[in-house]
Structure formats: C-alpha cells, structure tokens
C-alpha cells in the first residue's frame, strides 16, 4: 500500500492530523476505571486512541523521514516532520508521563507511544524536544516495563512455555509495551551518546545494592542484556563485562528466585561472544549454566540454560571444551 498524494494533500492532511491529535489528547472519563482492566482495551475510548496512534505512527515510520522515502514523497516527508511530528510527540510524551505517574493506559496505546518516540530519536527536531525527558523515560518508564511483574509470575506458574515465548523470544513481534520499551532503549543508546552511560550507571547501582528488590535486579539484567551487542562494541564497557558477569550474574544463577536464574542464563547467552581473559571465569560460567540445565526443576530456567550453554560453546575457542562433559538431560 502507498499514500495517494493526489488525495491526501497538505490541507487535507492537516485536518486529519488535528483530529488524530485531539483524540490522543482527550482525557478518558474516570468511570472507565470501573471496568475490569482486562476489558478496558475494548472500550470505544481506548479503541479510538489505539487506531489514531496506529495511523500516526505508521505515517511517521513510512512517510515522515525525508532521508528514508522515495523522491515522490520527499516533499511530503519534509512537511510532515516540520509541521506535525513535534506537536504529536508533545501529546504522546504527556501520555507516557501519565503512565509514569500510574495513570492507566492500555498496553497497545503505551506500546504505540513508545514506537513513535523510537522513530523520533532519529530526527534532530523531535530529539530536541525529547532530550530533556529521556533520562526520566529510561529510568521511570522503560525500566519498570522491563522488570519482572505480577503478571509474569502468574504466567510462569500457569504456563511456563508461554512465559518463555513472551519473555525471551527477541524475534517474536508480539504487541507488548516491554518489547517496545526494549527497542526504544537500544535505539536511544545507539543514537544518542548520553543515554548509554546514564542507563549503565543506573543499572549498576541496582546490581550493587544487596537489598535491592529482586524484580529490579531482573530489570537491570534485562536492560544490560538487551544492550549487549552495543556494549561489546565499545572497549570501555567490553573490558568491564567479564567482571560484571562474575560479580553480579554468576551469583544469581543460584538465586532462590527462578526468574532470576532464567534471566541470568539469558544474560550469559547475550554476552556469549565476549572474549574472556580468564579461562577459569569462562569455565565457571559453563559449569554454573550446566548445573541449571541439569538440576533445575523450572522449565524456563532449563530452556535458557540450554541456549546459554549452546551459545557459549559456539562462540568460545573450541580448545577450551576438551574437558567439558557432554550434557544429558532427561
């Protein structure tokens, strides 16, 4: 499908964008909070916002970046970026901040808001508006979405296989705010230089605190694992990763919380291309993961341990594995 410029000219688009912006900016009546949370996404108020956001985000992604469109759409893209993108983003920053303050938004609306901000990272106009809020967004919106939650615990207990699919399958395009949050964090860290050091320091402080909520530790590990590819490309961080794994990840492979054991295995999987300077640290990682694979009773832990072991063996020098026993799991 393509945008018919003969029908959607600038005056017509301006009318449409004003309508869509008004829908997003309109407060939802307080009585909607009386409806069961599982049923709220079906309310007309939230459906209107969902589809308005869907249209806005798709327009921005496909036709709002002058550098990424064909010649025929360049003028429209330039007009969209300079005329609408910042004003729409202002409304969506308000929605995201309301979520930060614990006001309700449906998962799909929140996801689409984060997707729009993701697109805005690439443009100086939208980034200039977003920049003062980015640290707060990372630490108080993105981070909580990436932490272990009550609904995760329910899913772990009731359907561990679905938990594995939803929490650890990076290629599964399910419409979850946590997925959009992770994508926004990774792109922000790549595109905007101040984001990565701020977020790494934030996560490091959580991991260093022995009294930190285990769910926040899961969130910190989730953030660091999501950023692994970028961290391994930067010498300053790459040289610290072996010690970070040894101090903060290895101990959690024996955590009494199953979700932390699974997350720790996932982090080792993410950092499996790391070049270990100390063979003993690498062997310790393998033995700990092997122990989780063989002895753990929780299926998400066993699955993540198996993947971590496979990637560690594949990415490290083969000579190191001459004395590693073949693993057999019944």
Going from the C-alpha of 228 to that of each of 52, 143, 189, 251, the distances in angstroms are 34, 16, 11, 19
- Which residues, 6+ apart, have CB-to-CB distance to 133 below 8 Å? 93, 97
Place of tokens 């759409």: 73
DSSP states of 178-212 as a string? HHHHHHHHHHHHHH-TTHHHHHHHHHHHHHH-TTS
| Distance separating alpha carbons of residues 229 and 3, to the nearest angstrom | 36
Q: Are 66 and 74 in contact (CB under 8 A)?
A: yes
Q: What is the rounded average pLDDT of the residues 175-193?
A: 93
| Distance separating alpha carbons of residues 237 and 128, to the nearest angstrom | 27
| Distance separating alpha carbons of residues 155 and 177, to the nearest angstrom | 16
pLDDT at 326 over 60: no
| Side-chain-facing half-sphere of 277: CA atoms under 13 Å | 8
pLDDT at 90 over 80: yes
- Residue 289: predicted pLDDT: 95
Q: What is the rounded average pLDDT of the residues 129-157?
A: 96
CB atoms within 10 A of CB 193: 8
Q: What is the rounded average pLDDT of the residues 167-179?
A: 69
The pTM for the full model equals 0.92
- Residue 136: predicted pLDDT: 98
pLDDT at 37 over 80: yes
Average predicted confidence (pLDDT) for the chain: 92
pLDDT class for 329, splitting at 50, 70, 90? very low
Question: What are the extents of the domains in the chain?
Answer: 10-167+175-319
- Residue 9: predicted pLDDT: 79
CB atoms within 10 A of CB 30: 7
pLDDT class for 324, splitting at 50, 70, 90? low
pLDDT class for 325, splitting at 50, 70, 90? low
Locate 112 and state its tokens: 């689409």
- Residue 1: predicted pLDDT: 65
pLDDT class for 321, splitting at 50, 70, 90? low
- Residue 229: predicted pLDDT: 96
**Tens-place pLDDT, residues 192-204:** 999 999 999 999 9
**Tens-place pLDDT, residues 303-317:** 999 999 999 988 876
Alpha-carbon dihedral of residues 181, 185, 186, 187, nearest 10 degrees?
A: 100
**Tens-place pLDDT, residues 291-307:** 999 999 999 999 999 99
pLDDT class for 25, splitting at 50, 70, 90? very high
CATH 1.25.10.10 given to domain 10-167+175-319: yes
Q: What is the rounded average pLDDT of the residues 230-250?
A: 96
Q: Are 54 and 117 in contact (CB under 8 A)?
A: no
Q: Which of 129-138, 166-175, 261-270 has the lowest mean pLDDT?
A: 166-175
pLDDT at 182 over 90: yes
């Amino acid at each position: 499908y393509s945008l018919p410029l003969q029908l959607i000219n600038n005056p017509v688009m301006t009318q449409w964008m004003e309508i869509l912006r008004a829908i997003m900016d309109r407060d939802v009546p307080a009585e909607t909070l009386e409806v069961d949370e599982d049923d709220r996404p079906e309310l007309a108020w939230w459906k209107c916002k969902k589809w308005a956001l869907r249209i806005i985000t798709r327009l921005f992604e496909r036709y709002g970046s002058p550098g990424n469109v064909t010649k025929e759409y360049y003028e429209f893209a330039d007009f969209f970026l300079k005329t609408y993108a910042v004003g729409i983003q202002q409304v969506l920053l308000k929605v995201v901040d309301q979520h930060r303050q614990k006001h309700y938004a449906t998962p799909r609306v929140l996801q689409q808001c984060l997707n729009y901000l993701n697109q805005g990272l690439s443009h100086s106009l939208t980034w200039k508006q977003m920049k003062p809020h980015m640290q707060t967004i990372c630490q108080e919106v993105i981070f909580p979405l990436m932490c272990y939650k009550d609904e995760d615990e329910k899913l772990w207990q009731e359907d561990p296989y679905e938990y594995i699919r939803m929490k650890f399958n990076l290629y599964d395009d399910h419409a979850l705010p946590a997925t959009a949050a992770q994508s926004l964090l990774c792109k922000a860290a790549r595109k905007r230089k101040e984001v990565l050091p701020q977020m790494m320091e934030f996560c490091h402080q959580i991991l260093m605190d022995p009294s930190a909520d285990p769910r926040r530790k899961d969130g910190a590990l989730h953030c660091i694992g999501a950023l692994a590819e970028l961290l391994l490309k930067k010498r300053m961080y790459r040289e610290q990763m072996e010690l970070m794994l040894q101090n903060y990840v290895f101990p959690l492979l024996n955590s009494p919380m199953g979700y932390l054991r699974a997350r720790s295995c996932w982090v080792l999987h993410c950092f499996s291309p790391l070049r270990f300077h100390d063979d003993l640290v690498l062997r310790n990682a393998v033995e700990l993961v092997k122990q989780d694979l063989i002895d753990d009773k929780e299926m998400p832990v066993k699955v993540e341990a198996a993947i971590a072991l496979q990637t560690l063996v594949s990415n490290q020098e083969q000579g190191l594995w001459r004395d590693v026993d073949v693993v057999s799991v019944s």
